Amino acid sequence: MKINVFVPVYHREETVRVAVPVMLETMKSDGYEVKAILVDNRSDKSMRSWLVELAEQRDDVELILLSSNYGKADAINRASRSFNDFDYFINCDSDIAPQKHGWPGILAQCFEASDRAGMVSTDYVQGNSPMPKQPEEELLEVDSGKWKFLYGGQVAGGCFLTSRSVWEDVGYRASGVYGGVDGVFRQSVAESLRRKCGYVEGLFVEHMDDRKENEDYHAWKMKVQSVIREKGPLARADILGNQKGFF
């Protein structure tokens, strides 16, 4: 079984240089062929040089360098069409540092074990992005152990797995660079496909908090998110203020 981990990258080089190597070193999973596809949304020269060097050093990494900032949704949709040889799709943001080795395989096992699963996310280390409480729970016994799948409510995005069939049915329908992309996916899967969306309790990742180091970037991001809340995440990128990105 093949798992492709799609990683959107956009500036914040110091954070990416810490999080992405952790993700790569922990993604090997028994019984699964795992590949990472790094998708850069037109970061600066220094970032791109580092990404090229990283991809050249590893056989399990592919790299796409986009000519423009197309936004997370369009970038990952493009990448998933180019590298479509997967049974399972994972989105893992480039500021996510998984804490457990073999986490992609654990997500896949939990997806397989849960009846009508649609989106299975990791849990978050308490702090920057706690997971919302869920109304339902399911105990799953898989090869990696016993895990509790909590589902039925809003799910914080950033690191989640879905099947090829669900991804092909839904994909990313939001055109915004930030805010609403993973949320719209969850809503579509839960409401249109009537599938369970939630997270695996205790399968922790760290959502790295670099708000102090990148104040201007996060101020821009929050401004875009406020427009998304007003206009809706399916609005055109130029209406949302995403067409030119941060820089």
User: Residue 129: its pLDDT value, please?
Assistant: 63
User: Residue 241: its pLDDT value, please?
Assistant: 61
- What gap in Å lies between CA 40 and CA 75, rounded to an integer? 8
The type of residue at 29 is S
Predicted structure pTM score? 0.90
Buried (b) or exposed (e) across 7-17, using 16+ Cβ within 10 A?
A: bbbbbbbebbe
Question: Helices 45-57 and 13-26: crossing angle, nearest 10°?
Answer: 10
Label residue 87 by pLDDT band (50, 70, 90): very high
Label residue 122 by pLDDT band (50, 70, 90): very high
SS3 content of the chain, % helix, strand, coil (to 5): 35, 30, 35
**If you search the block for the tokens 């040889």, which residue do you land on?**
85
pLDDT(70) > 60: yes
Q: Lowest-confidence range among 13-22, 72-81, 122-131?
A: 122-131
Share of the chain above pLDDT 70, in %: 88
230-239 pLDDT per residue, tens: 776 566 666 7
User: Residue 82: its pLDDT value, please?
Assistant: 96
Give SS3 for 193: coil
User: Residue 243: its pLDDT value, please?
Assistant: 55
pLDDT(17) > 60: yes
Strand pairing category for 96-98 and 136-142? unpaired
User: Residue 78: its pLDDT value, please?
Assistant: 92
Q: Lowest-confidence range among 23-32, 126-135, 175-184, 193-202?
A: 175-184
pLDDT(242) > 60: no
In degrees, rounded to 5, the angle at the alpha carbon of residue 51 between the alpha carbons of residues 53 and 48 is 110
Label residue 244 by pLDDT band (50, 70, 90): low
More confident residue, 73 or 128: 73
pLDDT(179) > 60: no
Label residue 131 by pLDDT band (50, 70, 90): confident
- What gap in Å lies between CA 165 and CA 143, rounded to an integer? 23
Please report the domains of the chain, with CATH numbers, ordered by start residue.
2-210 (3.90.550.10)
More confident residue, 19 or 216: 19
Helix or strand run (H / E) with residue 9: strand 2-9
Q: Which whole number is the average pLDDT over 167-188?
A: 78
Buried (b) or exposed (e) across 40-69, using 16+ Cβ within 10 A?
A: bbbbeeebbebbeebbeeeeebbbbebeeb
